[in-house]
Amino acid sequence: MTTATAVAGTAAGVPESALWVRWDDTAPGVVAAFLAHHADHPGTSLVVCARDEAEVQTAGSALARIALAAGPAATVAPVHVLEGDPRPADVARGVHAFGPGLPQYAAAPTVPDPERVDDVLAGLRLRRGRTVAARGPVAVRFMGGLGNQLFQYVLARTLADRTGAALVADRTWFAGERLRWELDDFQVRVDAFVDDERGWAAVGGPPGRHVAEAGFRFDPTLLGQEAGVLLEGYFQSPRYGEANVDALRADLRPRRALSSWATEVAEQLAALPEATSLHVRRGDYVSNPAAQAVHGTCSPEYYRRALDHLDAVLGGPGC
């Protein structure tokens, strides 16, 4: 097995299609699975991120034992040990990071279950060459709360997958805002993050084309956009993700297990023949005069009529 010497803070020499793992208790299983599946995915490599020089030595010794157990397959599988974390410039080269604790700009699905490594490697092969600098990325200016962020991700991810471009998340809107970026709670695949001008410099500058949403209705022309575009809007239609449903469902799985309360509610809903929920939006719509002027609030009578309607449609309240 080829194990590169540790290089602090850089991934020079690592191919563009690389599976990254943080060295921890889960890493040996992932490494073993990588070696077992590598023959089916030529051109991929594995990068093990260790925190310091001592951990590099620990990881190296363990990797040698894993390679010995793997047999001949390990002799052609490139495995690199990296001291520290990748830089934004490494992401611009097209490498992709996996694992808890890796920096935001290298975020991608968490360390995969060893049984999923084959699927992950197949995905990396499909994404090989999606460098930020190649034809320009698909960038989207994220703004608003979680719901808006989900809609924006759906369109951007669909375009990135169709065009083979990198996905860049422009998060500059959140500076000084009460709302925060919330997609870290899901297994979203973002190739680079831009939080300020330095972030744009790391990915070669903002795309040359800026496309703003013309209105709140579904716009099919947005799905025809090519790489090298910065999207701005809310894109509040599920139709933007219709051609990419399976990938989006995988991306939008929670990173962490549900709380005991959420698990209990989910079990209750699953046991109902028809489950509905009623959302009462107040919050900033009441406390923020500007938000109230734009959106307003619904009266108690509106909610009573909504419940009566659900009773009539479902033959009784489902939830």
Q: What is the pLDDT of residues 218-253, one digit of tens each?
A: 999 999 999 999 999 999 999 999 988 888 888 888
Residues above pLDDT 90, as percent of the chain = 27
Q: Both 23 and 113 in a single domain? A: yes
User: What pLDDT was estimated at residue 74?
Assistant: 59
Q: Both 193 and 87 in a single domain? A: no
In-domain check, residue 132: no
In-domain check, residue 17: yes
pLDDT band at 314 (very low <50, low <70, confident <90, very high): confident
User: What pLDDT was estimated at residue 76?
Assistant: 63
- Residues comprising the chain, all counted: 319
Whether pLDDT at 1 is above 50: no
Residue that is last in its domain, among 103, 127, 151: 127
> Would you say 121 and 30 are in contact if contact means Cβ atoms under 8 Å apart?
no
Question: If you average pLDDT over residues 52-77, what whole number do you get?
Answer: 76
Question: In which residue are the tokens 């594995």 written?
Answer: 46
Burial of 208 (0-12, 13-18, 19+ CB in 10 A): exposed
Q: Both 226 and 199 in a single domain? A: yes
Find residue 254's DSSP bridge partners: 186
In-domain check, residue 133: no
Q: Both 77 and 173 in a single domain? A: no
Residue that is last in its domain, among 102, 127, 152: 127
Q: Within a 10 A sphere around the Cβ of 58, how many other Cβ atoms?
A: 13
Q: What is the number of domains present in the chain?
A: 3
Residue that is last in its domain, among 82, 105, 127: 127
Whether pLDDT at 211 is above 60: yes
User: What pLDDT was estimated at residue 115?
Assistant: 77
Q: Both 243 and 266 in a single domain? A: no
Question: If you average pLDDT over residues 66-81, what whole number do you get?
Answer: 72
Q: Within a 10 A sphere around the Cβ of 303, how many other Cβ atoms?
A: 13
In-domain check, residue 51: yes
Which one is predicted more confidently, 306 or 124?
Answer: 306
Q: Both 171 and 101 in a single domain? A: no
In-domain check, residue 319: no
Q: What is the pTM of this model?
A: 0.58
Domain that holds residue 281: 260-314
User: What pLDDT was estimated at residue 237?
Assistant: 96
Question: If you average pLDDT over residues 126-131, what whole number do you get?
Answer: 50
In-domain check, residue 221: yes
User: What pLDDT was estimated at residue 155?
Assistant: 97
pLDDT band at 126 (very low <50, low <70, confident <90, very high): low
> Would you say 229 and 207 are in contact if contact means Cβ atoms under 8 Å apart?
yes
Query: Which residue in 191, 196, 195, 212 sits closest to 137, CA to CA?
Result: 191
In-domain check, residue 217: yes
Query: Which residue in 101, 28, 23, 27 sits closest to 66, CA to CA?
Result: 28
pLDDT band at 260 (very low <50, low <70, confident <90, very high): very high
Question: If you average pLDDT over residues 203-222, what whole number do you get?
Answer: 91
Question: If you average pLDDT over residues 1-10, what whole number do you get?
Answer: 35
Question: If you average pLDDT over residues 185-210, what whole number do you get?
Answer: 87
Could you tell me the two tokens for 2? 């080829």
Q: Both 187 and 105 in a single domain? A: no
In-domain check, residue 14: yes
Question: If you average pLDDT over residues 15-43, what whole number do you get?
Answer: 79
Question: If you average pLDDT over residues 36-56, what whole number do you get?
Answer: 79
**Mean predicted lDDT score pLDDT of the chain:** 79
Query: Which residue in 78, 84, 90 sits closest to 6, CA to CA?
Result: 84
Give me the sign of the Cα torsion angle 64, 70, 71, 73.
Answer: negative
Question: If you average pLDDT over residues 254-263, what whole number do you get?
Answer: 89
pLDDT tens digit string along 93-116?
A: 444 433 333 333 333 334 457 777
Which one is predicted more confidently, 312 or 318?
Answer: 312
In our burial notation (b when 16+ CB lie closer than 10 A, e otherwise), range 107-136 reads bbbbbbebeebbebbebbeebbebbbebbb
Among 96-100, 145-149, 264-268, which is the least confidently predicted range?
Answer: 96-100
User: What pLDDT was estimated at residue 103?
Assistant: 39
Q: Both 175 and 120 in a single domain? A: no
Q: Both 120 and 182 in a single domain? A: no
Measured CA to CA in angstroms, residue 85 lies from 18, 55, 150, 217 at distances of: 14, 13, 28, 42
User: What pLDDT was estimated at residue 177?
Assistant: 84
Whether pLDDT at 50 is above 90: no
Q: Both 143 and 241 in a single domain? A: yes
Whether pLDDT at 303 is above 70: yes
Q: Both 197 and 178 in a single domain? A: yes
User: What pLDDT was estimated at residue 192?
Assistant: 87
Q: Both 64 and 100 in a single domain? A: yes
User: What pLDDT was estimated at residue 81?
Assistant: 77
